Amino acid sequence: MSGGQIHDEDISASSQWSESTAARYGRLDCEEGDGAWCPEITVEPDHLKEFLQIDLRSLYFITLVGTQGRHAGGIGNEFAQMYKIKYSRDGSRWISWRNRQGKQVIEGNRNAYDIVLKDLEPPIIARFVRFMPVTDHSMNVCMRVELYGCEWLDGLVSYNAPAGEQMSLPLYPVYLNDSVYDGAVIHSMTEGLGQLTDGVCGLDDFTLSHVYNMWPGYDYVGWNNESFSSGFVEIMFEFDRTRNFTTMKVHCNNMFNRHVKTFRQVVCYFRSESDWEAVPLSFSPVVDEKNPSARFVTVNLANHMASAIKCQFYFADAWMLFSEITFQSDTAMYNTTLAPPKTGLPPNTQLEEDPRHKVDDSNTRILIGCLVAIIFILVAIIVIILWRQVWQKMLEKASRRMLDDELTASLSIQSETFGYNHNRSGTTSEQESNSTYERIFPLGPDYQEPSRLICKLPEFAQSSEEPASTSTAASKSTTATVVQDGVPHYAEADIVNLQGVTGSNTYAIPAVTMDLLSGKDVAVEEFPRKLLTFKEKLGEGQFGEVHLCEAEGMQEFMNKEFLFDIPEDQPVLVAVKMLRSDANKNARNDFLKEIKIMSRLKDPNIIRLLAVCIYSDPLCMITEYMENGDLNQFLSRHEPEGQFALLSNAPTVSFNNLCYMATQIASGMKYLSSLNFVHRDLATRNCLVGKTYTIKIADFGMSRNLYSGDYYRIQGRAVLPIRWMSWESILLGKFTTASDAWAFGVTLWEILNFCKEQPYSQLTDEQVIENTGEFFRDQKRQIYLPQPVLCPDSLYKIMLSCWRRNTKERPSFQEIHRALLDIQP
């Protein structure tokens, strides 16, 4: 009314006080005319003949009404304290509205200006609505009114059905009548609508009701099989016009333990114009004896044209209870073509929005505009975020695919370098070694468990303690796969896990069947065992020990370059790695393989194999003794030169010597990288310190107790030095010279901190992995190791370059070596 959708000519009244209080001024909130509709004479009690009538031009489902008196800027003071509503669907039969308790009178206004809203329970389905003021004393009455609801698209004008019955349960009766039916109820219900169209669906338990304070069975209309000899209940539905029906939905109770079930069959007859179609439509839903919940049963009406439908619902049990029946028809077509604007209202428009949620019209528009804008912005943000994620995932997939390709390629190249063909230099290859630790995928469920072997290639494992039992299991099963497989492909078949003969790592090296004993494959000579004298134990592992020994006549075995300061006739100190005599065949094989590979590494900054004892057991390999132990412990017990060291009398290492040691590590790595040898665990703990700050890179493996905190154990799986690992090694299992460069950066950082602090010591292992995710995402949220106090900018720059996200942008060891040489004064 106040929105203007209802035209003046559709608002009429029984009478009007004056032209300025005509019906058309009866719109809620309307201040035109004299401010309201006022009837001609005083309304006497119980003398209902005055009304304000609204013609909605088609059927509407009305759920709420509002009333207001005449205020007229303070001049008026007329209002209706009470009123009734009458409605009609056809304009001839008028029905008095009653609430669910049967009361007709509605409480109206208490002053001339406030709007009073009333929920219509039950709602009205009507085209015409009349507001009829009621007064209990003589007074002038004026009204302004409003209707709220939506168009009744079902088009149903009435249903005729047998009257609902009463069910006798042991404790109480259940009334299954249609208590709000607005037609005539004599023997059966005729010409009305009621509970089956009130929009309220019954509960699973029909004895309970949605509607507060109503009797058991209130929501349902129900019939007993015994009252119907035919075995069905016939309901006739009349519509406002001929419609094209798609479906009928019947909300049925199915409490089978109370002998209530949905119908077992429905037969529907259609009447268009005045004739009934000869062939009815029949449908048999599945009778559900498992699920007792109430449900809508949908009947396909197959686009039948009709203005009336007669349906026979067959009993499946003693009782049949319906709470709602709706019809879906092709109304759009009818509204636009067959039923051109009979009404002034556009089809499907809401009569009036619920004013409880209504704001001023212009405000609403602004509000909606703002909301739409906000939604657009949010959607845009979401799309951008999703797009970025998808993009990153694609990137990652691509890189994983690349990893797989490279893996296959590089492994076959590696096998040339370390395999049968005795190509010692292996220099032809530009490929980097790529192999897969067992990968971990902390970033989410998309990360797949790699099917590849856990391998470290081409490498050795060595002296230390017990390996993690889990990795032993893993490696065993891996080996088993290899054996079963038998496919002659390096990457998957020729890899044997090396438990580190004395070490712990789940490493692998090429499983070549070396005839080591023939000696032709090994570049080191047999040393007479009897010339070795045991002095002390340097280390211990699962399959053997490393001993400090005196060796007589070792000079012969040493390169000229090492000999200048060793007296010819005196015994030299050597480190001897020995395989335990009770070691199994696998361990023995692995030991021989380690010898083979180590024998090829000849660089002043890499552990050098001087000789072996393989003609008899126990198998031994001999390297020179590095009297200062590993670099980590060495630096830990030293201090930088300065006040503190002077006062505490602690041994010091000069900055120059730090640089010197770092340069040697870079040099050793330059050599390894020239062989495409990927170390995978470069750290100060894996470097040995000899006399005068000489450094040799070794690889102790992962199970020295002292360094267990440097390795992250993924439950039941790999053990990884995550704080030294590049993002791609952690996330993609990709190990290359570039990831060795990353680890070098961390090693450099350790050196400049005198190994007094673990990298990212403030972060837990999990946070380190999260940080790895940030390195991957590269959104400036990654945390870099801080510049050590002693570290000049030039050195920190080298570190940062080692931690570049893009592997190609990281410096080669050649470049790192060069840069370090330049830093040294």
| Nearer CB in complex with ligand DJQ: 220/735 | 735
Q: What angle do helix axes 655-674 and 737-752 make, rounded to 10 degrees?
A: 170
Catalytic residue among 681, 699, 710, 740: 681
| Nearest CA-CA partner of 499 in 518, 522, 471, 537 | 471
**Quick count: other Cβ atoms within 10 Å of Cβ 113?**
18
Give CA–CA dist 250/248, Å, rounded.
Answer: 7
Q: Closest separation between CB of residue 432 and ligand DJQ, Å?
A: 15
Give, for 243, the enclosing helix (H) or strand (E): strand 232-252
Q: Closest separation between CB of residue 594 and ligand DJQ, Å?
A: 7
Q: Closest separation between CB of residue 754 and ligand DJQ, Å?
A: 20
**Quick count: other Cβ atoms within 10 Å of Cβ 346?**
11
Tokens of 271: 């009447």
Binding residues vs ligand DJQ (CB under 6 A): 460, 462-463, 538-539, 546, 575-577, 601, 606-607, 609, 621-623, 625-626, 629, 679, 688, 697-700
Q: Closest separation between CB of residue 655 and ligand DJQ, Å?
A: 25
Secondary structure E strands in 273-340: 275-276, 281-283, 295-314, 319-329
| Nearer CB in complex with ligand DJQ: 263/460 | 460
Q: Closest separation between CB of residue 771 and ligand DJQ, Å?
A: 27
| Nearer CB in complex with ligand DJQ: 294/683 | 683
Q: How open is the CA angle 641-740-708, to the nearest 5 degrees? A: 70
Q: Closest separation between CB of residue 591 and ligand DJQ, Å?
A: 10
| Nearer CB in complex with ligand DJQ: 345/697 | 697
Cβ pair 174, 217 in contact under 8 A? yes
| Nearer CB in complex with ligand DJQ: 679/804 | 679
Per-residue CA distances from 731 to 37, 447, 725 (Å)? 78, 9, 10
Q: Closest separation between CB of residue 601 and ligand DJQ, Å?
A: 6
Give CA–CA dist 388/141, Å, rounded.
Answer: 67
Q: Closest separation between CB of residue 483 and ligand DJQ, Å?
A: 26
**Quick count: other Cβ atoms within 10 Å of Cβ 108?**
23
Per-residue CA distances from 66 to 85, 363, 418 (Å)? 12, 22, 92
Q: Closest separation between CB of residue 622 and ligand DJQ, Å?
A: 6
| Nearer CB in complex with ligand DJQ: 471/771 | 471
- Token pair 């072997």: residue: 453
Give CA–CA dist 602/405, Å, rounded.
Answer: 31
Cβ pair 334, 162 in contact under 8 A? no
> Residue length, the chain?
825
| Nearer CB in complex with ligand DJQ: 418/700 | 700
DSSP class per residue in 97-132? ---TTS---EE--SSSS--EEEEEEEEEEEEEEEEE
3-state SS track over 678-700: CCCCCCHHHEEECHHHCEEECCC
Cβ pair 518, 554 in contact under 8 A? no
Q: How open is the CA angle 73-76-81, to the nearest 5 degrees? A: 120
Give CA–CA dist 708/41, Å, rounded.
Answer: 101
- Token pair 């089978």: residue: 256
Residue 485 catalytic? no
Give CA–CA dist 760/803, Å, rounded.
Answer: 14
Q: Closest separation between CB of residue 402 and ligand DJQ, Å?
A: 26
Q: Residue 708: which residues within 8 A CB-CB, separation 6 or more?
A: none
Strands 652-653 and 639-640, sheet pairing: parallel
> What b-and-e string marks burial along 68-81, b requiring 16 or more CB atoms within 10 Å of the CB?
bbbbbeeebebbbb
Question: CA neighbours within 13 Å on the CB side: how many for 786?
Answer: 9
Q: Closest separation between CB of residue 538 and ligand DJQ, Å?
A: 4
Give CA–CA dist 375/652, Å, rounded.
Answer: 65
Give CA–CA dist 179/201, Å, rounded.
Answer: 15
| Nearer CB in complex with ligand DJQ: 68/737 | 737
Active site members: 681
